[in-house]
A and B are shown apart, each in its own frame.
Chain A
Amino acid sequence: MNQAYTERLPRKPVIKDIKQWPLTKATSERKEFKAQVRSRTLNALKRNFQDSSEFYELLKNVIYLEKIRLTQNPWKTDKQSEALFWADIKAQMLELEKQNNHTSSNHLEGVLTQIINHYLQEILSRFEPRAYRFAQRILPYFYGGLLKSAPGRRIQKFWRSKDSIYDRFIFYGDIDRLRELSSIGPLIVLPNHQSNLDSPTIGYGINLLGLPAMTYGAGINLFTLPWLSKKMNQLGAYKVDRRKKNAIYLEVLKSYSSVCLARGVHSLFFPEGTRSRSGTLSNKLKLGLLGTAVQTQKDYVLDEGQYNRPVIIVPVSINYSFTLEAESLIDQHLKKQGREQYIKEASVTATSYRLLSILFSHPYTKPEIHIAFGEPTDIFGNKLDASGRSLDVHGNFINREEYFRRGNDHVHDDQRDSVYAQDLGQIVQKGLHDNKVVLSSNIVALVAFRMLRASFPKLDLYELLRLPLEDVIWEWDDFLDACQRTIDHVRIKSSQGNCILSTQLDQSTTSIASHGVKHLGIYNSKRALVRSSDGKLRSESLLLLHFYANQMEAYVDNV
């Protein structure tokens, strides 16, 4: 049993005209949009820094932090003009001090506005329908190559492949409900993060399902190439600079996503913040942007026109049988965890020849991408009905306004909202965990690694990873037995709602195991598992095996 989505892909867009998409509308009104972000930021800062002396301290602190960043941690993406800008700001501050105006809030606000504008200029994205349509046409070829399939149905014959890439994207969850809800309130799509491939994958996945484009934050380090930078901007990405941790910058970012949400723009962000180095799901989610979701919901219930509008939370689990950068990820993880105990495996450097050759290797495989959309909820974790109303566990309607009410008043209470955001973090965490789609490759990696651990009980992890590969052999029959037990276990877990069984697990144990071994980490320079000619199972890299086993570790108690 699996819950795969069976409608034919790609689905018709929910809103046909790209010009009517919330993201297009918001970015076409650039001036008002900027003004809204600016005033929101100013108001928020004024709430937190109430008198002008606090304001003055804040500005001094930000100028100082920015100076440090520019001198000690410069990146290629930093514009030349930045140093000039901050020098100018500093000069203005000195001037204010000289004239003894540094306690006048009007003057300080002037400086602050300049800083906000500066940041806003950097962050802001401009969504271009043309670029989006272009990407829409290019991506099928990219994924067609990656998934070894024809890029679409029409040109199937030309590629002489029987299956199209639409058969390789497998979706789970109530997609029709999601499509309905997308025109009722802004979706906040929260995927797990394993690979750099995640951004285009989820972006393309959303497009295949006919959902309108979303705005998403991307690390400013990805914007090094000017043409790529432009393209990403045009697809709805906004820039996030991890180095800037000052109060003003963070507030501008928050206001940016608040204004997007307030305008009903669907947003996507990776709550784990960064790719998982170990392969496991992070248990520390970023709460900042979840706070924005709470804030927006509050603004909605206080606004008569949008009173019934929900902010919709959608955890998403993206699953591949391969992680392109698995080697470097697990390497970084073990270096940090194991320190001197960890000795790196000799690695093959990626050359463009290698990259080309892997795309043409493994001719008999059919890699798939499995994406599970969790049940859409409101920000309190309540289920939503088709018209966006919140339901409690007993099926009663909940008035979302009640969460923000005390007696007959609506009360602003940042502390309360921050607790709501913390709880939302827990809800998302559980959503990401429970929607993992278990692939055949997950099963084989976990089973092989657990068997290995069991046969060398005295070795610690680092000693185990250093075992000479010729000592590591799995007998196929034993391996199948263990797979069988694990699959049974996973079936129980899935019936309890703790994971989803992929379509791949509908087969017999032998087929699942063969399929898993064949597809596990196919694009890595070494294979985590291979079946050698004598029928036995071997590994070319225990590090990779460990990485892939980690993806399943939390779902199986013991084999």
Chain B
Amino acid sequence: MSTMYNRDMGIGVIGAGKFGLALCNLLAEKNPVKLYSRRQEDTANFAANRPLRDVVLHNNVSLETDLENLCKTCEVLIPAIPSDNYPELVQAIQNIINPGHFVIHATKGFIQSNANPDTKSHRPFTVSEYFEQFTTIRRIGMIAGPNLSHEIHQGLPAGAVIGSRFNEVITIGKDLFSSDRFQIFGSNDLLAIELAGILKNYIAIGAGITEGLELGSNARSLYITRALAEIIYIANRLGVSSTSFLGLAGVGDLMTTCQSPLSRNFTVGYRIAKGESIESIVNDSIETIEGLKTLKLIHSEWRYTSRIPIAQVLHEILFDQKDPKGLINVFMKATGENDVEFAL
């Protein structure tokens, strides 16, 4: 059977952020992995066997500083970079990659592109849509789920879902990632998986606010449930069915990011509720906070509908300096709604 990954394909992880490193170590348990990092200091640290961002890398990981070379030697590419960096990445590799490449990305954010005037009217792209539009790679998937990099580095058990329209990609992904401590599920609804991952980010900011305001567990669960209805509404409007939101990438991820102080988006909300300004929080953060960008995009595309109250209030709190307590109204003053109308 040749349905599985074979070693002559090569695995390349693009991006040496915390999550990229976590994926690297997971992959390295079974196969040699090449890691691409564009940070100068990483080369020196790697050569000296020092940890990168406090993460000790597996022996199977090698560092690659030439992106072209990475794409030439690896047919499975695993980009784990902020959504903003994709246009640059695609530009750099568009002449090297070919339809024989596989992509399993780990980015939970939209890409806005005005590079092509034909697509100006297009809503923001998901990563897979971006690749389909601007490269010849077709076999694309995403790995998503409740995966806090910190816990993965500790070796704690976890699971994820690989979404792809191609079973091939799912099989390869399962083959590469699954282990005794990491469980992989598959889904053919790639867009739903991507949207679930993207949309939960801004929800997590609100969850952080409920924590910061010390509203208690009951209120937070109330908030999360209403938030789930809201993101499913958005997904439905984008042509995606609700089902995938009940899985790991939806409810699974939501439960983790909305509970854990380890989540970046959650932390943003928490600190806002404690009175910090958004500027100072962004300045403090080393890594991109996808939730903020998602919120801006969702707000600009959907501001005229009354069906996304959470996004609207969060936008006011974060960018118009409104009182964080306003969030309480959203789930306390909603009237006459059915509990689970979103699932129908």
Give the B-binding residues of A (Cβ under 8 A).
380, 382, 392-394, 396, 398-400, 402-403, 405-409, 411, 413, 415-416, 419-420, 423, 496-497
Q: Establish whether residues A407 and B167, one from each chain, have CB atoms under 8 Å apart when the complex forms.
A: no
15 cross-chain CB contacts under 8 A? A380-B99, A393-B134, A398-B136, A399-B99, A402-B99, A403-B100, A406-B102, A407-B6, A407-B75, A408-B6, A411-B3, A413-B3, A419-B138, A419-B166, A497-B118
Which residues of chain A come closer than 8 Å to B2, judged between CB atoms?
A: 406, 409, 411
Question: What per-residue 1/0 map shows which CB atoms of B134-157 lie under 8 Å from chain A?
Answer: 111011000000000000000000
Q: Establish whether residues A406 and B99, one from each chain, have CB atoms under 8 Å apart when the complex forms.
A: no
A405: contacting residue among B100, B134, B166, CB under 8 A: B100
CB distance from B307 to the nearest CB of A (A): 23
A403 with B99, Cβ < 8 A, contacts A382-B136, A398-B136, A408-B8 known:
yes
Which residues of chain B come closer than 8 Å to A413, judged between CB atoms?
A: 3, 167-168
| Chain A residue nearest to B9 in the complex (CB) | A407
Q: Establish whether residues A416 and B166, one from each chain, have CB atoms under 8 Å apart when the complex forms.
A: yes
Which residues of chain B come closer than 8 Å to A497, judged between CB atoms?
A: 118
A407 with B139, Cβ < 8 A, contacts A398-B99, A402-B100, A496-B118 known:
no
Cα distance A201–B134 when bound, in Å? 37
12 new A-B pairs (CB below 8 Å) besides A400-B99, A402-B100? A394-B94, A398-B98, A398-B99, A405-B100, A406-B9, A408-B6, A408-B8, A411-B3, A415-B168, A416-B167, A419-B166, A497-B118
Tell me if B293 is interfacial: C-beta within 8 Å of chain A. Answer: no
CB distance from A298 to the nearest CB of B (A): 13
| Chain B residue nearest to A411 in the complex (CB) | B2
Cα distance A407–B171 when bound, in Å? 14
Cα distance A394–B92 when bound, in Å? 12
| Chain B residue nearest to A497 in the complex (CB) | B118
Interface hits, B166-204 → A, CB 8 Å: 166-168, 172
Cα distance A407–B95 when bound, in Å? 19
Cα distance A411–B4 when bound, in Å? 11
Name which of A406, A408, A411, A423 has the most chain B CB atoms within 10 A of its CB: A406
Tell me if B165 is interfacial: C-beta within 8 Å of chain A. Answer: yes
CB distance from A480 to the nearest CB of B (A): 30
Which residues of chain A come closer than 8 Å to B95, judged between CB atoms?
A: 394, 396
CB distance from B139 to the nearest CB of A (A): 7
| Chain B residue nearest to A394 in the complex (CB) | B94
Which residues of chain A come closer than 8 Å to B3, judged between CB atoms?
A: 411, 413
Interface hits, B109-130 → A, CB 8 Å: 118
| Chain B residue nearest to A413 in the complex (CB) | B168
Q: Which 5 A-B pairs have the closest CB atoms?
A: A402-B100, A402-B99, A407-B9, A403-B99, A415-B167
Q: Establish whether residues B138 and A403, one from each chain, have CB atoms under 8 Å apart when the complex forms.
A: yes
Which residues of chain A come closer than 8 Å to B5, judged between CB atoms?
A: 407
Cα distance A258–B133 when bound, in Å? 29
CB distance from A227 to the nearest CB of B (A): 48
Cα distance A399–B98 when bound, in Å? 8
B165: contacting residue among A380, A400, A406, A419, CB under 8 A: A419
Cα distance A444–B298 when bound, in Å? 39
A392: contacting residue among B136, B139, B172, CB under 8 A: B136
| Chain B residue nearest to A414 in the complex (CB) | B167
Cα distance A399–B101 when bound, in Å? 12
Give the A-binding residues of B (Cβ under 8 A).
2-3, 5-6, 8-9, 75, 94-95, 98-100, 102, 118, 134-136, 138-139, 165-168, 172
Q: Establish whether residues B168 and A406, one from each chain, have CB atoms under 8 Å apart when the complex forms.
A: yes
Cα distance A398–B136 when bound, in Å? 8
Which residues of chain A come closer than 8 Å to B98, judged between CB atoms?
A: 398-399, 402
Q: Establish whether residues A416 and B118, one from each chain, have CB atoms under 8 Å apart when the complex forms.
A: no
CB distance from B34 to the nearest CB of A (A): 16
Cα distance A419–B165 when bound, in Å? 7
Cα distance A405–B136 when bound, in Å? 14
Cα distance A380–B135 when bound, in Å? 12
CB distance from B170 to the nearest CB of A (A): 10
Which residues of chain B come closer than 8 Å to A400, judged between CB atoms?
A: 99
CB distance from A404 to the nearest CB of B (A): 9
| Chain A residue nearest to B121 in the complex (CB) | A496
CB distance from B91 to the nearest CB of A (A): 10
Which residues of chain A come closer than 8 Å to B134, judged between CB atoms?
A: 393
| Chain A residue nearest to B102 in the complex (CB) | A406
Which residues of chain B come closer than 8 Å to A399, judged between CB atoms?
A: 98-99
Cα distance A84–B115 when bound, in Å? 65
Cα distance A416–B100 when bound, in Å? 13
Which residues of chain B come closer than 8 Å to A392, judged between CB atoms?
A: 94, 135-136
Cα distance A399–B139 when bound, in Å? 15
Which residues of chain A come closer than 8 Å to B99, judged between CB atoms?
A: 380, 398-400, 402-403
CB distance from B135 to the nearest CB of A (A): 8
Which residues of chain B come closer than 8 Å to A396, judged between CB atoms?
A: 94-95
CB distance from B79 to the nearest CB of A (A): 19
CB distance from A519 to the nearest CB of B (A): 32
Which residues of chain A come closer than 8 Å to B100, judged between CB atoms?
A: 402-403, 405-406
Which residues of chain B come closer than 8 Å to A393, judged between CB atoms?
A: 134
CB distance from A364 to the nearest CB of B (A): 41
Which residues of chain B come closer than 8 Å to A394, judged between CB atoms?
A: 94-95
Which residues of chain B come closer than 8 Å to A406, judged between CB atoms?
A: 2, 6, 9, 100, 102, 168, 172
CB distance from B17 to the nearest CB of A (A): 28
CB distance from B310 to the nearest CB of A (A): 31
Which residues of chain A come closer than 8 Å to B168, judged between CB atoms?
A: 406, 411, 413, 415-416
Which residues of chain B come closer than 8 Å to A380, judged between CB atoms?
A: 99, 136, 138
CB distance from A196 to the nearest CB of B (A): 35
A407: contacting residue among B8, B118, B136, CB under 8 A: B8
Cα distance A392–B98 when bound, in Å? 9
Cα distance A405–B166 when bound, in Å? 13
Which residues of chain B come closer than 8 Å to A408, judged between CB atoms?
A: 6, 8
Q: Establish whether residues A423 and B118, one from each chain, have CB atoms under 8 Å apart when the complex forms.
A: no
Cα distance A277–B100 when bound, in Å? 42
Cα distance A420–B165 when bound, in Å? 10
Which residues of chain B come closer than 8 Å to A382, judged between CB atoms?
A: 136
Which residues of chain A come closer than 8 Å to B8, judged between CB atoms?
A: 407-408
| Chain A residue nearest to B10 in the complex (CB) | A407
Q: Establish whether residues B138 and A420, one from each chain, have CB atoms under 8 Å apart when the complex forms.
A: yes
| Chain B residue nearest to A420 in the complex (CB) | B138
Cα distance A262–B99 when bound, in Å? 23
Which residues of chain B come closer than 8 Å to A419, judged between CB atoms?
A: 138, 165-166
Name which of A400, A402, A407, A423 has the most chain B CB atoms within 10 A of its CB: A407
Cα distance A497–B136 when bound, in Å? 22
Q: Establish whether residues A415 and B166, one from each chain, have CB atoms under 8 Å apart when the complex forms.
A: yes
CB distance from A317 to the nearest CB of B (A): 19
Which residues of chain A come closer than 8 Å to B167, judged between CB atoms?
A: 413, 415-416
Cα distance A406–B10 when bound, in Å? 11
Cα distance A411–B168 when bound, in Å? 10
Cα distance A394–B118 when bound, in Å? 15
CB distance from B132 to the nearest CB of A (A): 9
Name which of B3, B94, B99, B166 has the most chain A CB atoms within 10 A of its CB: B99
CB distance from B250 to the nearest CB of A (A): 23
| Chain A residue nearest to B139 in the complex (CB) | A416
Which residues of chain B come closer than 8 Å to A416, judged between CB atoms?
A: 139, 166-168
Cα distance A407–B172 when bound, in Å? 11
CB distance from B343 to the nearest CB of A (A): 26
Q: Establish whether residues B138 and A423, one from each chain, have CB atoms under 8 Å apart when the complex forms.
A: yes
Name which of A396, A398, A402 has the most chain B CB atoms within 10 A of its CB: A402
CB distance from A277 to the nearest CB of B (A): 25
CB distance from B126 to the nearest CB of A (A): 16
CB distance from A513 to the nearest CB of B (A): 30
Which residues of chain A come closer than 8 Å to B118, judged between CB atoms?
A: 496-497
CB distance from B188 to the nearest CB of A (A): 9
CB distance from A435 to the nearest CB of B (A): 15
Which residues of chain B come closer than 8 Å to A415, judged between CB atoms?
A: 166-168
Cα distance A416–B8 when bound, in Å? 21
Which residues of chain B come closer than 8 Å to A423, judged between CB atoms?
A: 138
Cα distance A368–B45 when bound, in Å? 73
Cα distance A382–B5 when bound, in Å? 27
